[in-house]
Structure 1
């Protein structure tokens, strides 16, 4: 572990500086309790210097969760503070003992810079079963204080590129009790260590950066150390669970362009089912996101796909409306022709046929049936009736032919519209895909990571 490696370096350096004493060392001369009694006899919990230099180091053990709903991440870390207090030096008492280790109770007996994480939503020291706190005292008076804690700290969530987004989370360290006049807090040479086995289900911890600046409060100025972690989302889940199903729904809606225009129910079912499945998929994804007011990448994608499916339904409605217009025009034409025929029947030579004279008495009918003139009038009336019947049949035949002609013209028009739509819709969607994926797959971290 990096912390123990650092400690070994400190011990080795001290041993090199005190090499003459180490060579003369045979065995420890005092027990730890005796050394502690001597150095703590006249010890005071006041500042050991002005200002005291404090170095900070962080080792990330694990990252359990990064929540977009709470705008925070939860992690287990080892957090170390190192400073120098010459009043605790014991090399003059025992040059053979390289360090003294204590638990958290000894910390309460000595001065400490009280370096803490000031931006946490929650933090607690692990107990397994006792508090995971290590305080190590080196012979020259250097103190190394280490905590193993679980922290929940805020993140700067920006979901504008979701699900192809990058999120940033921060840990901010300060000496809570001492300002810049008393304590100078700074990072160690190797400030942050991330264990390689860290793995999250939906994010990768891609990189981190550290910074130091002076924070101004009403009580004065404090040194602030910030470590910022960059988390890149793994969007493979969303490709399989969102993008691929939307592609399939969209392609299914385009199958309607290949179905005959007379099969309107089948085409309507395809379009409506695709629209409903797309809405259901979007609802499942959006439930796991906070209600932000700006447009996200997933919003743009889903709205565009819904727009394409809705446009295919509009194309179907347009073709169906043209068919309805033909039926309405045909009905009006039939009514006009029927009115014209009824009107013509009131004129010669159709008046006698269409409006027969009132019936005569029975005796007159018998006498008239024997006359030659009556037979001639009947033959003439039958001829007129045949002429009227032929005219109506010709008009009906003409109406049928005109309707059939318009119907075939409409079917041909609908087929042409479907053929054009079958080409235009995929080409337009392909152009949208090129623009969408080119924009959102580009690496924008350089512009935000300074």
Structure 2
């Protein structure tokens, strides 16, 4: 029984040794007997204190050249573009790649890459990237932190994380809502200068450093906007007026506003209100209550409509395209009200003229007879013919039926080309 127990222990020990021996692999006549966990422990912890990996310094900190960090961005969502707060929100994958020769494991294992758990990522140096125009930001950690790190054989490190960002965008609203905005994304190093770290956009052959999900590909519609273009550039050492200079890269997203909402909610209602004011020109001169009510109602309605539009915009000192439209529409409506006031004055003047000048002749059997009224011969007026002022008022109404719509059409022919094509 005693010999059987020792035999069993020997067999188990031999089995473990045999399993470890079988775990060794050969590649190009080289034998690797380390497991992945052992490789990571060896790379990050070292065999002694002097060989221990130091995540506090960049890979080339002691060298005469900076560590080059290549960055890619994959957009998951692009929304919440706000003119009031001058910002936009995005959700993205931020991927960075750099070389760290301290993590070279060519002689230790034959795996193409090693995955590093989130609990061990703090043991590896990563670039101190921050978004210069960021207003709010958050990491995603459901159900685990949304980031990964891969170590490659030659020491290349790939690090990616998922972020939600609200970035500032100083918008120029002179052509609002027929505008196109160019919103930046500034990525910069906060600690290391260009002597130690440099940022570059990573663009593989045939690919762009900024990619999108299919839902937000170029020229597809987002809420109120379409992404028509995105450009990238390097700004290493150029974003700071004073020294020291920091690593920096920049991206610009060109956003074209979709005017469908504004056509339905702003332009069409205001056009109908302006056209409604023209109905006054077809009403009779004596329909004073109807014409007054119509003129005042259209002025107040358009003024309220314009106020609602302006309440959704920031208070800027320059004139916007929507301001030009609302003000000119208000001028047309107010001019129609003033036109009624003028023709009403002419009509009342005509009534006074008619009362002051009209004298009826009593018909006589003898057509050649003459008679005098108060010693004066009768005035030769046609009974029922309106006074000249009243006729002028009606003529102005008829002219206004053509002039007002014509001027409004001319205004539209100038407004739309100027703000769309210039």
So what's the TM-score if we normalise by structure 2? 0.80
State the alpha-carbon separation in 2 of the partners of residues 288 and 403 from structure 1: 60
- Report how far residue 290 of structure 1 moved: 0.9
Q: Are residues 1:288 and 2:312 paired?
A: yes
Consecutive unaligned residues in structure 2, runs of 5 or more = 1-25, 360-371
What is the distance in 2 between the residues matched to 1:57 and 1:393? Answer: 106
Q: 1:316 to 1:145 in 2, by over 3 A?
A: same
- Indicate whether 1:110 and 2:128 are aligned: no
Q: Which residue of 2 aligns with 1:191?
A: 209
Does the 8 Å CA contact 2:349/2:389 hold for their aligned counterparts?
Answer: no
User: Which moves more between the two structures, 235-244 or 109-118?
Assistant: 109-118
Residue 434 (1) aligns with residue 413 (2): yes
| Equivalent-residue separation in structure 2 for 1:279 and 1:403 (angstroms) | 46
Contact kept, 8 Å, 2:351 with 2:390, in 1: the verdict is: no
1:47 alignment partner, one of 58, 66, 72: 58
- 1:411-444: CA deviations, max 9, x gaps? 32122111111111111111111111111121x5
> What do the CA deviations read for 1:361-407 (whole angstroms, capped 9, x no partner)?
xxxxxxxxxxxxxxxxxxxxxxxxxxxxx846999x869x69965x4
Q: Note closer, same or farther for the CA distance 1:246–1:321 as it changes in structure 2 (3 Å cut).
A: same
Aligned 8 A contact 2:353 2:387 in 1: no
Q: 1:128 to 1:329 in 2, by over 3 A?
A: same
1:36 to 11, 36, 40: 40
Deviates more, 1:427-436 or 1:324-333: 324-333
State the distance in 2 between where 1:22 and 1:282 align.
Answer: 76
Superposition map of 1:362-377 within 5 A: none
1:164 aligns with 2:178: yes
| Segment drifting more, 218-227 vs 433-442 | 218-227
Confirm or deny that 1:324 pairs with 2:328.
Answer: no
**In 2, distance between residues paired with 1:103 and 1:276?**
66
Shift of 1:107: 2.8
Match of 1:203 among 212, 219, 225: 225
Say which of 195, 203, 217 aligns to 1:181: 195
Contact 1:155 1:170 in 2 (8 A): yes
Q: Does the C-alpha gap of structure 1 residues 235 and 221 become closer, same or farther in structure 2, counting only changes over 3 Å?
A: same
1:326/1:258 Cα in 2 relative to 1: closer, same or farther (>3 Å)?
A: closer
**Kept after mapping to 2: 8 A contact 1:51/1:181:** yes
SS in 2 for 1:253: helix
Query: Contact 2:233–2:249 at 8 Å: present in 1 too?
Result: yes
Rounded to whole Å, the distance in 1 between the matches of 2:195 and 2:212 is 32
Following superposition, the deviation at residue 25 of structure 1 comes to: 8.7
Q: How many residues align?
A: 365
Instruction: Classify the secondary structure of the residue corresponding to 1:220.
Output: coil
Per the alignment, residue 226 of structure 1 pairs with 250
Counterpart for residue 86 of structure 2:
71
Q: In the alignment, which of 112, 131, 150 is matched to residue 98 of structure 1?
A: 112
- Give the 3 Å change call, closer, same or farther, for CA 116–25 of structure 1 in structure 2: farther
CA contact (8 A) 2:354 2:387 kept: no
Bigger Rg, structure 1 or 2: 1
Quote how far apart the aligned CAs of 1:108 are.
1.8
CA distance, structure 1, for counterparts of residue 54 and residue 296 of structure 2: 80
Map Cα deviations across residues 246-270 of structure 1 (whole Å, 9 max, x no partner).
Answer: 1111111112111222222222222
Q: Which residue of 1 aligns with 2:398?
A: 419
In 1, distance between residues paired with 2:403 and 2:72? 60
Structure in which a larger fraction of residues adopt helix: 1
Unaligned runs of 5+ in 1: 1-20, 338-389, 445-450
Could you tell me how far 1:327 is from its partner in structure 2?
4.7
Contact 2:147 2:160 in 1 (8 A): yes
- Aligned mates of 1:176, 1:219 — CA distance in 2: 13
- Please tell me whether residue 61 in structure 1 is matched to residue 83 in structure 2: no
Alignment equivalent of 1:138, drawn from 124, 134, 152: 152
**Following superposition of structure 1 onto structure 2, how do residues 10-29 of structure 1 map, counting pairs within 5 Å?**
29=33
> Cα RMSD (Å) of the superposition?
2.7
What displacement does 1:304 show? 0.8
Give the Cα separation in 2 of the matches to 1:103 and 1:219.
Answer: 38
Q: How does 1:364-403 map to 2 (within 5 A)?
A: 391=373
